[in-house]
Amino acid sequence: MGEVSIIGLDLAKNVFQAHGAGVDGSVVFRRKLSRAQLLEFLGRQPRCVVAMEACASAHYWGRAIGDLGHEVRLIPPAYVKPFVKRQKNDMADAEAITEAASRPTMRFVAVKSEAQQAAAMAYRTRDLLVRQRTQTINALRAHLAEQGIVAPTGPAHVGRLAAVIEGDDGLLPAAVRDLARLMLDQIAGLAAKIADLDAELRRRAAADDAARRLTTIPGVGAITAAAITTFAPPMETFSKGRDFAAWVGLTPRQHSSGGKDRLGRTSKMGQKDIRRLLIIGAVAVVRWAARKGLPEGSWLARMLARKPKMLVAVALANRMARVAWALMNKGEVYRDPAMAAA
């Protein structure tokens, strides 16, 4: 039996499948390991590459296995799938991970630190609470609409509904008022928790030099800056800003062949949290520009003159991603092109 060069590890909750391969790709071992046996087994192996799919627990195991002296490589699951042979099972998956990790052109995911995962949890918890608040507001609006009470969408207009619920005009039955108050209490509680998390994310962004520089970009606030510094890998990973924009998923999908370039809609294959926040920020900038006006001949003014606003917003989000890459790589702050040219 030769010496193992690379180990493919198919992660699970309690039972893990390990596939060891030599330098020439030959099979050195195939082992099924319990959760308690995993680190002990890997600790006995010579220093080598340990590859895993980038799943929910991969970063925890990546840190633990890296502490044993192994080189950890995390692979996006979509890049492993083409290497699975015929049947889909744990043994075939572990072998496919080994094969994918041995490819010289394979792309890997950086292992996140505990601090990065904690920041990601704060952001995702806020995202969950915002969705729950939106669902509760929509449910309240729907129930009151059945009673003939209507209000515009959005948290800003909950006060109109609250005024009707607490009013003494007799428009609503007592049972409806009691249930509506329950939903109002739920909305208020969620809003308070969201405000606390917003303050926490702003504090983290203010304490991070890279995040502070990102907030100088128009359309990028503290939450977007915190998301970029949390979810994005080191910017040195990307050779240029266009690569980072493609990683986020803000570039057109290609259907090119025979030397003919065919570009479709935005790929949406990248990091959805950063992409969504950048587009939201770009929409805010486009709306501001439509109200306040722009310098004649600027890129945004030319785009708005001949393209739909949503298309311009996505294009602007792409530019914002490229600017973010430049600022984080060069350690600078955003400078308005019009001011720089003056």
Query: CA nearest 309: which of 295, 339, 289?
Result: 289
Longest dimension (CA), the chain: 86
Contacts of 83 (CB under 8 A, 6+ apart): 95, 96, 97, 99, 100
Catalogue the long-range contacts made by 60-64 (C-beta closer than 8 Å, 24 or more residues apart): 61/9, 61/11, 62/111, 63/111, 63/113, 63/114, 64/39
Q: Does residue 338 surpass a pLDDT of 60?
A: no
Fold of 6-101: Nucleotidyltransferase; domain 5 (3.30.420)
- Write the pLDDT tens digit of every residue in 88-123: 899 999 999 999 999 999 989 889 999 888 888 998
Q: pLDDT higher for 299 or 185? A: 185
71 touches 48 (CB < 8 A): yes
Query: CA nearest 279: which of 313, 328, 327?
Result: 313
Helix axis angle, 114-145 to 158-166, nearest 10°: 50
DSSP class per residue in 20-85: EE-TTS-EEEEEEEEHHHHHHHHHHSPS-EEEEE--TTHHHHHHHHHTTTPEEEEE-HHHHGGG--
pTM of the predicted model as reported, rounded to 2 decimal places:
0.81
Q: Which amino acid is at 324?
A: A
- CA torsion sign for 62, 65, 69, 75 is negative
> Quick one: pLDDT at residue 341?
39
Q: Residue 322, SS3?
A: helix
Q: Does residue 19 surpass a pLDDT of 50?
A: yes
Domain boundaries, the chain: 6-101, 114-207, 210-255+266-341
Distance CA 225, CA 205 (A): 7
> Quick one: pLDDT at residue 342?
37
User: Please, which pLDDT band fits residue 301 given cuts at 50, 70 and 90?
Assistant: confident
Distance CA 331, CA 74 (A): 28
34 touches 15 (CB < 8 A): yes
Query: CA nearest 3: which of 24, 18, 17?
Result: 24
Contacts of 272 (CB under 8 A, 6+ apart): 249
Minimum mean pLDDT range among 135-144, 166-175, 279-288, 302-311: 166-175
At residue 263, φ and ψ (nearest 5 deg) are -110, 135
Q: pLDDT higher for 139 or 268? A: 139
Task: Determine what percent of the chain is predicted with pLDDT higher than 90.
Answer: 58
User: In the chain, what is the straight-line distance between the N-terminal and C-terminal CA atoms, in Å?
Assistant: 70
Q: What is the mean pLDDT of the chain?
A: 89
